[in-house]
Structure 1
Amino acid sequence: MTYRLSLLGPAFIGRPRSEIVLTWDGPTLIVTDGDDSLRVTPASLYFYRYDRDIADGATQEMTGLAALDDDGLVLLDLPGAWRQGYIAAFCAAIGVPFVDGSSEPSGPSEPSGPSEPSGPSEPSGPSEPSEPSEPSEPSEPFGPSGSSEPSGPSGSSEPSERTRARMSGRAPGWRRVTASSARKRSPWRMPLIYASGVIGLAVMAYLISVGAWAAWRGLTVIGRVLLDLVDVKWLVVAFSPLALAYRPVIGRWRRYQARRGWRAGPPTGPNLVIGATSELQIHAGGEKLPLEIGKEAGQAARMLVYRYEDRSGLFIQDTNGNPLHHIPGPWDPEDLHRLGIRHQLGLAVHGISREEYVDLIRRCPNGSP
Structure 2
Amino acid sequence: MKEILPVAGATKSSRCPKIRLTSDDGLLTATDQASGHSVRVRPDRLYHYSHDVDADQKRKSHAVQGVAALGADGLVLLDLPGDWHAPHLREFSQAAGIPLVDARDRPSAEVRAVLAGRAPGWQRLRGLPLPSQAKWRKPVAICAGVAGLGLMVYLGTLGMWGAWRGLSSLGRMLVDVLEAKWLMVAFSPALLVIRPVLARMHRRRTKRGTVLGPPGGPYLNQRSHNKLYITAGNTDIAKLRLGESPGQAFSLLLYRYEDLTGLFILDRFGKALHHLPGSWSAEDAHRFAERHGLVLAAHRVSREEYLDLTKATPEATP
Distance 1:60 1:277, change over 3 A: farther
Distance 1:343 1:227, change over 3 A: closer
Amino acid at match of 1:318: D
Residue matched to 1:128: none
Give the distance between the partners of 1:55 and 1:320, measured in 2 at CA: 25
Residue 54 of structure 1 and its aligned partner are, at CA, apart by 8.1
Give the distance between the partners of 1:57 and 1:79, measured in 2 at CA: 21
Alignment of 1:205-284 (within 5 A): 205=153, 211-214=157-160, 218-231=163-176, 232-284=180-232
Residue 72 of structure 1 and its aligned partner are, at CA, apart by 1.6
Alignment of 1:43-82 (within 5 A): 43-53=44-54, 59-82=61-84
Residue 317 of structure 1 and its aligned partner are, at CA, apart by 0.4
Residue 246 of structure 1 and its aligned partner are, at CA, apart by 1.3
Unmatched segments (≥5 aa) in structure 2: none
1:40·1:75 contact (CA, 8 Å) conserved in 2? no
Give the distance between the partners of 1:217 and 1:252, measured in 2 at CA: 33
Deviations 1:159-202 (A, max 9, x none): 2211111101122232222254x345241443432232133234
Unmatched segments (≥5 aa) in structure 1: 103-155
Residue 361 of structure 1 and its aligned partner are, at CA, apart by 0.6
83, 86, 98: which one aligns with 1:84: 86
Amino acid at match of 1:313: G
Give the distance between the partners of 2:266 and 2:14, measured in 1 at CA: 34
Residue matched to 1:185: 132
Instruction: State the percentage of identical aligned residues.
Output: 41
**How many pairs are equivalent?**
310
Distance 1:287 1:81, change over 3 A: farther
1:219·1:239 contact (CA, 8 Å) conserved in 2? no
Residue matched to 1:197: 145
Residue 213 of structure 1 and its aligned partner are, at CA, apart by 4.8
Amino acid at match of 1:212: L
Give the distance between the partners of 1:356 and 1:93, measured in 2 at CA: 36
Larger radius of gyration: 1
Alignment of 1:1-369 (within 5 A): 3-35=2-34, 36-41=36-41, 42-53=43-54, 59-102=61-104, 156=105, 158-180=106-128, 182-187=129-134, 188-205=136-153, 211-214=157-160, 218-231=163-176, 232-284=180-232, 286-369=235-318
Residue 39 of structure 1 and its aligned partner are, at CA, apart by 2.2
Amino acid at match of 1:91: S
SS in 1 for 2:224: coil
- Point out the more displaced range, 70-79 or 309-318: 70-79
Instruction: State the TM-score, normalized to the length of structure 1.
Output: 0.76
Give the distance between the partners of 2:26 and 2:260, measured in 1 at CA: 25
Amino acid at match of 2:306: Y
Give the superposed CA RMSD.
2.5
Residue 258 of structure 1 and its aligned partner are, at CA, apart by 2.2
Give the distance between the partners of 1:12 and 1:226, measured in 2 at CA: 23
Give the distance between the partners of 2:126 and 2:280, measured in 1 at CA: 24
Residue matched to 1:133: none
